[in-house]
Each structure stands twice: as structure tokens, then as C-alpha cells.
Amino acid sequence: MGRIFYAHVFRNAILLVVAGFPQAFLGMFFSSSLLIEIVFSLDGLGLLGYESIVSRDYPVVFGSLYIFTLLGLVASLISDLLCVVIDPRIDFEKR
């Protein structure tokens, strides 16, 4: 029973979780970090981005957006690689 569950149900169900996790995690992480840093006056990347937007410090805004985008791309890449490991039927090299 456990082997059938893992081979047929779990493998197909976990693909949805692995594919959607990076976007959900990063959105929740950045919005909650901004909220927590503003409420508790903590220094961090979210507060730095917020204060730079308010004070119109554009190089800092672009730098923080660059870091957030880079983290999102790395998380998506890891998610895609995990999808291939979980389900070998997925092949990114097919043309």
C-alpha cells in the first residue's frame, strides 16, 4: 500500500507543491519581512527597500529589486531541478 501510494499518488501530488512553493514562499517572505521590519523598527532589506522608495533613492531601489529578483530566479531554478528529480518523465531537453 505504501509503495503504491508513493509511486502513483505522492509523486504526482508533490509536483504541484514543488512547482508552486518558490513563488508562494518568496511572496510571503518579502511581504512579511517588510511588515515586521516596519512594525518593530528592525534593520533589514525590506525596510531598506521601503525607505529608499519613500526617499526616492533609485540606485538602492534597483539594488534591492535586483536581489529579490535573483533570489526568485534561483528558487525557480531549484524548483525546476527538483521536479526533474521527483518525476523523471519531465525532460527539459526535448525539442
The one-character DSSP state at 44 is S
Confidence of residue 91 (pLDDT cuts 50, 70, 90): confident
Cell of 36: 515586521
pLDDT digits (tens, 9 = 90+) for 60-89: 999 988 988 898 899 888 888 888 888 777
Q: What is the pLDDT of residue 95?
A: 60
The Cα angle at residue 30 between residues 27 and 33, in degrees rounded to 5: 140
pLDDT digits (tens, 9 = 90+) for 9-63: 777 777 777 778 888 888 888 788 888 888 888 888 888 888 899 999 999 999 9
Q: How far apart are the first and last CA of the chain?
A: 37
